[in-house]
Amino acid sequence: MEEEKIVNEASVESSNEESQVQESPSDEKKKIKNLISLSILLAGLLIGSLFVDLGQLIKGGGISQKVLDGKDVFSLNDKTWVAFEDPIVNVQVITDESCEACKADDFLLQLRSALPTISTSSVAYDSTEGKDLIEKFKIKTLPAFVFDANIKDTGLFSQAEPIFKKEGEMYSIDTAQVGIPAGKYLELPTIGENDIVIGSKDSKVTLIEFSDFQCPYCQKFQQSVDEILKEYGDKITFVYKQFPLTSIHPKAMDAAMASECANEQGKFLEYADKLFTNQADWSKDTNNARFGTYAAQLGLNVGQFNQCVSSAKYQEKIQANATEAQEFGISGTPALFINDQFQPGASSVDALKKVIDEQLAK
């Protein structure tokens, strides 16, 4: 029995010796050090807000979560901070720094008043990032604005979703709808095979007008256009595009259709003159009888003309013209491009001649 006790004690000692080989004194110190570090970390997490509050009391700075949770407005470093429910929204402003008209300061000021949580960054339109965004969102004018995905979680988005266009996880804003004038055009309106073209197609200067036959300003502007066409002849190309503002001019679409049907028979300018000259008459009509009368007065094939009008043959073309105008941020008529120079409103003959002469001199 004594021998068995001695053997067991020897076994325990042997086991303790093996244990000592596996756990060295340096490992023991590391274990203690780690336990101390963990205790400090846990203590810091538990009373961290207290540390910040004490620091705030002593130094006058630092805001803890406890303070943030208890206030919607507070002051710090001579500034007033306000809590908002909207998330931070990053806005990329695509612009051309050399273009004075492309500056977006006024719009951003208005935007910040509606959405105070925006954070803006400028993107050069000719940079790799800028080109990618322009291609992705089919941007035609500068400045342009692209928002990150957080915009969809804001009150502004819920109220004005139709003015935003989504591509992937980002959104651009329709600058025309919010009244931001184009500072620079990255593209120009195209001239299609079916567009109404007056003069040589190979001239150095091209005028592209978006117009509405029921628009009184367009009626006045047509006098300037007629004079320009008479003076410059084949030195310029004139392109007429339909932009009937049907929300305020209920007969504008019918008039546009009639002019297209007259153009089909080679009498656009003559018919346009009839429409503008007699604008006050046909605008009040409840039917389109006068349009056929004007066609007869100009010697058109009235049967062909009436069939063209009644079948709405050029409906898609007129709508395509109107859509193109809207894509370029045009919201009113008349609107004229002289090469890459945009002339909104009923410009005078002298103003038009000045721009045309400058373009011809290049």
What is the separation of C-alpha 216 from the centre of its chain, rounded to a whole number of angstroms? 30
Number of structural domains the chain divides into: 2
Q: How far is CA 220 from CA 50, 212, 225, 226, 260, in A?
A: 74, 12, 9, 11, 21
For the segment 156-182, the average pLDDT, to the nearest whole number, is 92
Residue 52 lies in a domain: no
214 plus 177 within the same structural domain: no
What is the span of the domain harbouring residue 340? 196-360
109 plus 253 within the same structural domain: no
Considering only residues 204 and 201, tell me which one the structure prediction assigns the higher pLDDT.
204
Report the alpha-carbon distance of residue 358 to residue 87 in Å, rounded.
49
- State the angle between helix axes of 315-327 and 252-263 in degrees (0 to 180), rounded to the nearest 10: 110
Give one DSSP letter per residue of 8-38, joined into a string. HHHHHHHHHHHHHHHS-HHHHHHHHHHHHHH
Tell me if residue 259 falls in helix, strand or coil: helix
Question: Is residue 151 a contact partner of residue 89, using CB atoms and an 8 Å limit?
Answer: yes
Which of 223, 298, 217 is closest to 252 using CA atoms? 217
Report the alpha-carbon distance of residue 34 to residue 27 in Å, rounded.
10
Q: Residue 163: is its pLDDT beyond 60? A: yes
Question: Is residue 8 a contact partner of residue 1, using CB atoms and an 8 Å limit?
Answer: no
Residue 49 lies in a domain: no
Report the alpha-carbon distance of residue 25 to residue 358 in Å, rounded.
91
For the segment 296-319, the average pLDDT, to the nearest whole number, is 97
Q: Residue 67: is its pLDDT beyond 90? A: no
Give the pLDDT confidence of 257-270 residue by residue, as tens digits: 999 999 999 999 99
240 plus 303 within the same structural domain: yes
For the segment 215-229, the average pLDDT, to the nearest whole number, is 95
Give the pLDDT confidence of 123-141 residue by residue, as tens digits: 999 999 999 999 999 999 9
Q: Residue 97: is its pLDDT beyond 80? A: yes
103 plus 246 within the same structural domain: no
Q: For the domain that residue 312 is a member of, what is the CATH number?
A: 3.40.30.10
206 plus 256 within the same structural domain: yes
Q: For the domain that residue 101 is a member of, what is the CATH number?
A: 3.40.30
Tell which of 185, 213, 241 closes a domain.
Answer: 185
Residue 281 lies in a domain: yes
Collect all residues with Cβ–Cβ distance below 8 Å to 323 and sequence separation of at least 6.
none
> Which amino acid is present at 10?
A
What is the separation of C-alpha 108 from the centre of its chain, rounded to a whole number of angstroms? 13
For the segment 73-78, the average pLDDT, to the nearest whole number, is 73
Q: pTM of this prediction?
A: 0.68
Tell which of 160, 185, 210 closes a domain.
Answer: 185
Question: Is residue 220 a contact partner of residue 250, using CB atoms and an 8 Å limit?
Answer: no
Output the pLDDT for position 26: 52
Output the pLDDT for position 327: 86
What is the separation of C-alpha 26 from the centre of its chain, rounded to a whole number of angstroms? 65
Q: Residue 18: is its pLDDT beyond 80? A: no
Please tell me what DSSP assigns to residue 88.
P
Tell which of 142, 160, 185 closes a domain.
Answer: 185
170 plus 201 within the same structural domain: no
Residue 353 lies in a domain: yes
Confidence of residue 2 (pLDDT cuts 50, 70, 90): very low
Lowest mean pLDDT among 14-28, 163-177, 221-235, 348-362: 14-28
For the segment 171-186, the average pLDDT, to the nearest whole number, is 89
What is the separation of C-alpha 284 from the centre of its chain, rounded to a whole number of angstroms? 38
234 plus 215 within the same structural domain: yes
243 plus 282 within the same structural domain: yes
Residue 174 lies in a domain: yes
Largest Cα span, the chain: 140
Residue 96 lies in a domain: yes
Residue 73 lies in a domain: no
Which of 244, 258, 259 is closest to 196 using CA atoms? 259
Which residues partner with 94 through β-bridges?
Answer: 123, 144
Residue 1 lies in a domain: no
237 plus 93 within the same structural domain: no
Confidence of residue 40 (pLDDT cuts 50, 70, 90): low
Report the alpha-carbon distance of residue 340 to residue 176 in Å, rounded.
18
Give the pLDDT confidence of 268-282 residue by residue, as tens digits: 999 999 999 999 999
Confidence of residue 80 (pLDDT cuts 50, 70, 90): confident
172 plus 216 within the same structural domain: no
221 plus 254 within the same structural domain: yes
250 plus 162 within the same structural domain: no
Output the pLDDT for position 333: 96
